[in-house]
């Protein structure tokens, strides 16, 4: 029974991806966030329709779930994605504290459709000075003072 329910959630994520392709709304990706057997967040790729390079299906579904729960902490939730998440989405999954990730297609399947993340993974492994986007540190002392203020703050909400 549980396996059938999980297949139903994955089917919904894949359906969102398919609908996105056929409606010309964005790329072939869909995701749902589930808590206690109920879908609380839905997302499909909206990068081109919204001109937002971060509007991947998983991020859209996480944002929807966080709005639904009125919380940035999605502990107790799972995400079902039509494809293995890219590095950005995987980071968002960890930051949102989702309990589990289920995915259908692999990153290699995505690469076959010209959604290739291997370049990003290779860039992460390089020293900063060898990456294709220059990374220049500046004004560290000023920025560290802000962290010091945060540490001292009585009104901070840890996350």
Enclosing H/E stretch for 152: helix 140-152
Q: Quick check: is 2 catalytic? A: no
Count of CB atoms situated within 10 Å of the CB of 7: 12
Tokens of 41: 């967040």
Tokens of 131: 């990456």
Enclosing H/E stretch for 29: none
Distance CA 18, CA 28 (A): 6
Distance CA 62, CA 64 (A): 5
Q: Which residue out of 2, 38, 58, 141 is catalytically annotated?
A: 58
Q: Active-site residue numbers?
A: 58
């Amino acid at each position: 029974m549980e396996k059938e329910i999980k297949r139903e959630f994955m089917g919904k994520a894949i359906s969102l991806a398919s609908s996105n392709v056929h409606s010309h709304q964005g790329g072939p990706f869909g995701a749902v966030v589930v808590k206690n057997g109920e879908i609380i967040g839905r997302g499909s790729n909206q990068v081109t329709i919204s001109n937002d390079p971060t509007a991947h299906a998983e991020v859209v579904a996480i944002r929807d779930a966080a709005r639904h729960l009125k919380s940035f902490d999605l502990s107790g939730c799972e995400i079902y994605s039509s494809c293995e998440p890219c590095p950005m989405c995987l980071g968002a999954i960890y930051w949102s504290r989702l309990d589990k990730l289920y995915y259908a297609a692999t990153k290699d399947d995505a690469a076959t459709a010209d959604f290739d993340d291997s370049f990003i993974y290779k860039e992460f492994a390089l020293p900063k000075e060898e990456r294709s986007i220059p990374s220049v540190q500046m004004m560290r002392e000023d920025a560290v003072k802000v962290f010091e203020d945060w540490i001292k703050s009585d009104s901070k909400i840890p996350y």
